[in-house]
Amino acid sequence: MANFLNKLATDLLRLEINTIIKDEILCVTANSYRRELFDLAEEYRAKLVEFNGTNYMYDVTAEDLLNEQFSQRTGGELGFSEIIEYCDKKIELFINTIEAAPDNQDLLRYAKECKIMASRIKTQSLRIIDVLELQKELYPDQEWAWNNDYPDHQIDKIADLPLEADQIAIIRKASEIGTQHVVLQTVVQVQGDITSYMTNRFLRHTEKEQRMMIEMHQESISTGIRMWQGLFKAIGSLASGVFNAVTKNTRSAAGRSAGAGGSMGVPTRASMRRQKEDK
């Protein structure tokens, strides 16, 4: 319990609020962590095949294109490793493009955005591989507990991955952001530091759209801070309850030990006086 409380308190030292522009909201929740990882990997692959070295745009939804570019259409270590390799190639391509076209502002801006997206996908994929590697260490003899390199039609037929809370948090954050664009971000530190970020993409929106996004972001900050404060209070109450329970048990154990000591022949003042009188 102490380790749990310490980990939870550490996680609460930093609050991050993101405002994201999404093309659409499906309102569908994955029925397992396996499915969530598979869907995320497919989202990454679909975004990556938009990039090519000439036109920078492919048919995003073409199934044959995905199969042509990726041999591992899975959501496990093999699938995400292939995604990382693909990202490395695209990042190198965009760096070369940026260096070769310093005067073409439209191409320069697009190449920079694509490079940032490919870098984000790579970073999140590395974190997910770390999650699966940890599972392999925890369950070395149980392949089902860490292997998620299964095709789409098998994912929902296999028992779910037995993940810990911190592992789930990594997957959930990656899924929530996905390949969408963060336009506003605010980070609040427990010591009081507040940092806000605004992207160039935000500045390209109309004034009306900007006002709407700022209002939404401010409301999210207020809600997040209220929840943050509530969690801190809950942890304080929980920690206090654990401390009281431990000290109560310690006192009870000490009392029992004292009582047991007398019955086991530990000398008392009264017994010593009786011994002197007998002599």
Q: What is the pLDDT along the chain (279 residues), one digit of tens a residue?
A: 455 445 555 666 788 899 988 777 766 677 899 999 999 999 999 999 888 644 444 444 567 778 888 999 999 999 999 999 999 999 999 999 889 877 888 888 888 989 999 999 999 999 999 999 999 999 999 999 999 999 999 999 999 999 998 899 899 999 988 998 889 999 988 777 899 999 888 998 999 999 999 999 999 999 998 888 887 787 777 767 665 665 666 656 555 555 554 444 434 444 445 555 555
Distance separating alpha carbons of residues 112 and 108, to the nearest angstrom: 6
Task: Specify the pLDDT at position 38.
Answer: 96
Task: Specify the pLDDT at position 267.
Answer: 43
What are the structure tokens assigned to 247, written together? 């000290």
Task: Specify the pLDDT at position 232.
Answer: 74
Q: Cα–chain-centroid distance for residue 19?
A: 17
Instruction: Name the helix (H) or strand (E) containing 91.
Output: helix 77-100
Q: Biggest alpha carbon distance in the chain?
A: 111
Under DSSP, is residue 170 helix (H, G, I), strand (E, B) or coil? helix
pTM of the model: 0.72
Nearest to 262 by CA among 253, 271, 274, 250: 271
Phi, psi of 224 (to 5 degrees): -60, -40
Under DSSP, is residue 49 helix (H, G, I), strand (E, B) or coil? coil
Task: Specify the pLDDT at position 54.
Answer: 43
Task: Specify the pLDDT at position 239.
Answer: 67
**Which strands form 194-198's sheet, in the order they lie side by side?**
14-21, 181-189, 194-198
